[in-house]
Chains A and B, each alone.
Chain A
């Protein structure tokens, strides 16, 4: 539990690094670890969603101040913390190899996102107006497709067989 709170703390600290000099505003970096702790302590996944939103808010603030590095770092750490937090709530006994595998998965995906985010501002594309409209439509259709995928049926379809105990009377 403490490592997860530590991870949320790191996310808050990195994302809120530019706020460090603002005095009382620096207290905002305590929000993500506090919410992460609440989420684990009371088994409350909603608190981890609030912690993610809080960290993204801090990252957005840092980004608007022109500190893109800490902002992206904070976002990446928040995504890793959010995923691991949900996994830890779903499987409280998770540790060892299995936990490492989850960490590698989410770190890999987040790393790919970071690389793309780092590369995006360096891309120079000249798009005509209708090209921009087409890209907008494509983005929205992608969003709608994602929503449809998220809402699809998730019924179990599992099969179970009965108890096949061997009748061995005792006593």
Chain B
């Protein structure tokens, strides 16, 4: 109850007692009004004439950039630069989903002039780019006839990036490659590790590349050619359509997979971009280097589930984001009908790597193990397997990821079969 209302209520009760005493000719009622009147008068004297809280709020964070699962230490200091405050309630409102690990984001105390009140706590924030809200304060003077309730702005940003796994053995083979060296196998002979072919010896060729068996067979000098390894342009597409997931927990795994792909591909020297497809389109065009990695991880940190009619199917994925002949790495649990677009993209000359966080295995963990759920899971698995078999037959690299296990070994095993 605001202080002003408290004054009016007490004043009203005093007037009522005095009025009733006068009307009923009962002096005892007038006497009863005296403690109330004293309470009111002393309270108003304490509340002062020109009361304005002069407060300074500073929030300190132990870090501005974290990875999911890491803890953040927060210190909030509220300093009183004005007159003494009898009761101060300080509350640092936490964004939804943050878990308090130690301490409390709320404190009650007194604030004599010049003194400070501190909040110390540790939280485990969730993934995202968080704009921190202001610090909430509730104050009152003695007896509470003057109160103030509000928020003092304390702007700050905290970035909580998704975690990634160190992937190995991720081999991509897009139709077009860049001039720079990388790990994507180009369709041309040159310097590399994988055998590509043989050509006739030309003056200047390195003697160690001479194919002696060919010399023995054809009696002519020939040299080995190796598949040239070059950098490529890769667009990682993260599907954030709500119906594809069913449960928000699965999105966290998909984000982790996308972050792992981004990290691995950039480390191997490719130009990597990112597209979030769902409620909205958010993208970062291909680039390379540490700055690009930071931009992509930041974009992934902001990935949220959603849906609009325009992006309900993969068919509306804007291909202008994908350079012709480039590699597309799609991370999606897939919806029925999505395989058509994937087939079309492959037919149009894109190399497609499909990473599927398995929604059936994920949902099975959440559901009670009844015969009905088991049967439903098996039917869905069979349907999905039939779709994936068609995609594999069309030449698309498919990695079906059981999210209960790490991605790296499953990816290495699935892509190993492609070599």
Contact = CB atoms under 8 A, between A and B. Distances in A.
Contacts of B161: 171
Contacts of A87: 87, 140, 144
Contact of A91 (B1, B4, B38, B108): B108
Nearest to B57: A160
B59 A121 contact: no
Interface string A127-171: 000000000000000010011011110111111111111111111
Interface stretch (B40-48, B205-213, B328-336, B359-367): B40-48
B143 A146 contact: no
B404 to A, nearest CB: 24
Given A146-B11, A159-B56, 10 more contacts: A72-B35, A90-B147, A102-B87, A109-B39, A109-B143, A113-B38, A114-B35, A143-B11, A146-B7, A160-B135
B64 to A, nearest CB: 5
B114 interface: no
B44 A146 contact: yes
Contacts of A164: 58-60
Given A64-B29, A143-B11, A156-B53, A93 B39 contact: no
Interface string B108-149: 111000000000000000000000101101101011111110
Contacts of B39: 79, 106, 109-110, 113
Interface stretch (B150-158, B230-238, B305-313): B150-158
Contacts of A154: 3-4, 51-52, 146-148
Given A156-B150, A162-B155, A171-B70, A49 B57 contact: no
B62 A168 contact: yes
Contacts of B153: 160
Interface in B31-86: 31-32, 34-44, 47, 49-67, 70, 81-82, 86
Contacts, number: 217
A81 interface: no
B34 A113 contact: yes
Interface string A42-78: 0001101100110010011001101010011001100
Contacts of A159: 54-56, 81, 152
B34 A91 contact: no
A125 B7 CA distance: 30
Nearest to B135: A160
B62 A109 contact: no
Interface string A21-60: 0000000000000000000000001101100110010011
A98 interface: yes
Contact of B32 (A52, A71, A110, A162): A71
Interface stretch (B19-27, B178-186, B271-279, B385-393): B19-27
A105 to B, nearest CB: 5
Contact of B87 (A48, A68, A76, A91): A91
21 contacts: A45-B1, A52-B9, A56-B13, A64-B29, A66-B28, A71-B32, A72-B32, A75-B36, A94-B87, A116-B38, A117-B35, A121-B27, A146-B44, A151-B4, A159-B152, A160-B154, A164-B59, A165-B64, A167-B64, A167-B65, A171-B70
Contacts of A106: 39, 143
B66 A170 contact: yes
Contacts of B61: 163, 165
Interface residues of B, number: 82
A89 B17 CA distance: 27
A149 B110 contact: no
A68 B110 CA distance: 37
A161 B63 contact: no
Contacts of A89: 1
B298 interface: no
A110 B142 CA distance: 13
B8 interface: yes
B89 interface: yes
A101 interface: yes
A4 interface: no
A112 interface: yes
A157 B53 contact: yes
A89 B148 CA distance: 14
B106 interface: yes
Contacts of A162: 154-156
A160 B56 contact: yes
B108 A147 contact: no
B384 interface: no
Closest 5 CB pairs of A and B: A163-B156, A113-B35, A113-B38, A63-B28, A165-B61
A63 B35 CA distance: 14
Contacts of B86: 102, 105
A150 B145 contact: yes
B140 A113 contact: no
Given A91-B89, A162-B155, A162-B156, A98 B108 contact: yes
A155 B404 CA distance: 54
Contacts of A90: 87, 89, 138, 140, 144, 147
Contacts of A63: 26, 28-29, 31-32
Contact of A117 (B31, B62, B110): B31
B329 to A, nearest CB: 22
Contacts of B145: 150
